[in-house]
């Protein structure tokens, strides 16, 4: 009988705490609590679906040196998996690895639990009905390569050996922590000059590929099936349009795999321009009443076009959101448009305005970097003072 595997994207435990409900009375920040809730959901889903093992694509913690409390939480979770008969296989991601010379160290090195396995090198895991080639994070520097093409060749040389050892009849699956060419990534890629962007041609021979590292779930190819699985949780308001998933791989099923939606906490971002001649508070209230905020983290970014309009009644807005079931307001910003002087009226008449004020106004209209603007104003004012002194003399 074929065994079942649950593939889980980057965990990033500890990420996004700045948008969560702050901890109090010894409780966890709500974002940590949300991540623990998802981890427990993963165990429950695994037991319900008869999963034999979990493969994690990497980046277990957000920080290279995580808080001790987060480490304890994860170790407890691993023990729960093992106690329920579930193996755990963790592929090392870039957030997991610290490179010193040719050696790697990681907080994951402390894990010493039976049936929990950490992969810092390419390895193929053979199971009943499927073989999984596990590929940890590498970049140009970590492979001591002079160029990205040389680094790519190093990885490319390894894969045929892994494929060659896969038993006949087993599904060929690759799970790793590398970015793929043409993938849509945001802030996951720290150093493009060293990042290995894997072309689909490198993956020839595998029938199914799921990569971590890039947080946005996206399909790169349907035949063979190649995708970024995405991260485990919605970590910031730039990901509000993303539906997070885990993948259940069952070689005995006709479809081979199934995507299961993760019950992440909703993040709602309100970006709204309030037109002129509108009461800002009433306009925003009407807009809010059209949306579902149950159990959501909410961020408001409001722009008021009328410079003379009254300020928003924040307490009224916050009370409304709470009544609609919002869990926490993570941010509330209000900006106001300032009337711009038309181009034809920007001529500065030296006889009608004090020279130093004119310089400040002029500098504000020029395309001068902020860190240089003050120096320009200072020099201009020194010239004005010298001219005024000469006139007196």
Q: Is the pLDDT of residue 25 over 70?
A: yes
Tokens representing 114? 């039976």
Nearest alpha carbon to residue 210 among 169, 165, 166, 178:
178
Which domain, by its residues, includes 371?
Answer: 346-392
* pLDDT class of 351 with cuts at 50, 70, 90: very low
Percentage above 90 pLDDT, the chain = 67
Identify whether the C-beta of residue 2 lies closer than 8 Å to the C-beta of residue 128: yes
Mean pLDDT of 201-215: 94
249-281 CB burial, b ≥16 within 10 A, e <16: bbbeeeebbeeeebebbbbbbbeeebeeeeebb
Residues forming a β-bridge with 89: 55, 117
pLDDT at residue 309, rounded to an integer:
92
pLDDT in tens, 89-130: 999 999 988 877 667 788 899 999 999 999 999 999 999 999
Q: Is the pLDDT of residue 342 over 60?
A: no
Q: Is the pLDDT of residue 348 over 50?
A: no
For residues 361 and 256, state if they share a domain. no
**Domain membership flag for residue 20:** yes
For residues 240 and 322, state if they share a domain. no
For residues 143 and 234, state if they share a domain. yes
For residues 296 and 364, state if they share a domain. no
Mean pLDDT of 20-27: 82
Least trusted range by pLDDT, from 2-6, 98-102, 129-133, 323-327:
98-102
Identify whether the C-beta of residue 205 lies closer than 8 Å to the C-beta of residue 164: no
For residues 328 and 361, state if they share a domain. no
pLDDT in tens, 354-374: 777 777 777 767 767 665 667
For residues 182 and 308, state if they share a domain. no
| Domain boundary residue, one of 336, 359, 381 | 336
pLDDT at residue 344, rounded to an integer:
46
* pLDDT class of 192 with cuts at 50, 70, 90: confident
List of residues 6+ apart from 88 with CB closer than 8 A: 53, 54, 56, 78, 81, 82, 115, 116, 117
For residues 207 and 98, state if they share a domain. yes
Instruction: Supply the CATH number for residue 134's domain.
Output: 3.60.21.10
Mean pLDDT of 294-301: 96
Domain count along the chain: 3
For residues 209 and 319, state if they share a domain. no
Q: Between these two residues, 330 and 97, which has the higher pLDDT value?
A: 330
d(CA 195, CA 169) in angstroms, rounded, equals 34
**Four-residue CA torsion sign, 72, 75, 81, 84:** negative
pLDDT at residue 130, rounded to an integer:
97
d(CA 6, CA 248) in angstroms, rounded, equals 5
Helices and strands: H and E segment counts in the chain: 7, 19
Most confident of 189-198, 234-243, 351-360: 234-243
**Domain membership flag for residue 179:** yes
The pLDDT mean for the chain works out to 89
Nearest alpha carbon to residue 90 among 54, 124, 65, 41:
54
**Domain membership flag for residue 118:** yes
pLDDT at residue 189, rounded to an integer:
67
For residues 332 and 369, state if they share a domain. no
| Domain boundary residue, one of 314, 336, 358 | 336
pLDDT at residue 106, rounded to an integer:
86
Torsion of CA 380, 381, 386, 389, to 10 degrees: 150
**Domain membership flag for residue 341:** no
Q: Between these two residues, 150 and 355, which has the higher pLDDT value?
A: 150
For residues 41 and 84, state if they share a domain. yes
| Domain boundary residue, one of 217, 237, 261 | 261
For residues 351 and 245, state if they share a domain. no
Q: Between these two residues, 82 and 152, which has the higher pLDDT value?
A: 82
List of residues 6+ apart from 263 with CB closer than 8 A: 38, 41
**Domain membership flag for residue 127:** yes
Question: Looking up tokens 């860190």, which residue turns up?
Answer: 371
How many other CB atoms are found less than 10 A from the CB of residue 150? 12
For residues 242 and 130, state if they share a domain. yes
């Amino acid at each position: 009988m074929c065994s079942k595997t649950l593939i889980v994207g980057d965990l990033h435990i500890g990420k996004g705490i700045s948008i969560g409900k702050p901890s109090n009375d010894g409780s966890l920040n709500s974002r940590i609590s949300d991540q623990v809730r998802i981890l427990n959901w993963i165990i429950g889903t695994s037991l319900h679906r008869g999963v034999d093992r979990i493969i994690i694509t990497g980046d277990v913690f957000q920080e290279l040196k995580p808080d001790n409390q987060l480490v304890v939480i994860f170790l407890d979770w691993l023990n729960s998996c093992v106690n329920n008969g579930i193996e755990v296989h963790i592929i090392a991601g870039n957030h997991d690895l610290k490179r010193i010379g040719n050696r790697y160290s990681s907080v994951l090195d402390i894990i010493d639990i039976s049936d929990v396995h950490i992969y810092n090198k390419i390895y193929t895991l053979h199971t009943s009905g499927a073989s999984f080639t596990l590929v940890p994070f590498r970049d140009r520097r970590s492979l001591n390569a002079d160029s990205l093409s040389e680094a790519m060749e190093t990885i490319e040389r390894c894969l045929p050996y892994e494929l060659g050892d896969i038993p006949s009849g087993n599904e060929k699956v690759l799970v790793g922590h590398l970015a793929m060419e043409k993938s849509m990534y945001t802030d996951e890629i720290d150093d493009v000059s060293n990042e290995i962007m894997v072309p689909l041609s490198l993956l020839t021979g595998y029938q199914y590929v799921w990569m971590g590292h890039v947080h946005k779930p996206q399909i790169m190819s349907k035949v063979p099936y190649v995708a970024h699985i995405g991260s485990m949780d919605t970590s910031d308001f730039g990901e509000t349009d993303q539906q997070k998933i885990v993948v259940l791989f069952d070689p005995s099923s006709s479809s081979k795999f199934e995507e299961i939606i993760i019950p992440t906490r909703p993040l709602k971002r309100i970006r709204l321009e309030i037109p002129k001649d509108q009461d800002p508070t009433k306009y925003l209230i009407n807009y809010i009443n059209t949306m579902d905020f149950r159990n959501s983290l909410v961020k408001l970014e409001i722009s008021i076009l009328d410079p003379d309009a009254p300020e928003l009644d924040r307490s009224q807005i916050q009370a409304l959101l709470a009544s609609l079931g919002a869990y926490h307001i993570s941010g509330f910003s209000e900006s106001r448009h300032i009337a711009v002087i038309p181009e034809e009226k920007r001529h500065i008449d030296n006889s009608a305005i004090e020279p130093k004020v004119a310089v400040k106004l002029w500098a504000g209209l020029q395309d001068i970097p902020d860190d240089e603007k003050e120096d320009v104003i200072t020099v201009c004012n020194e010239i004005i003072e010298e001219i005024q002194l000469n006139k007196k003399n």
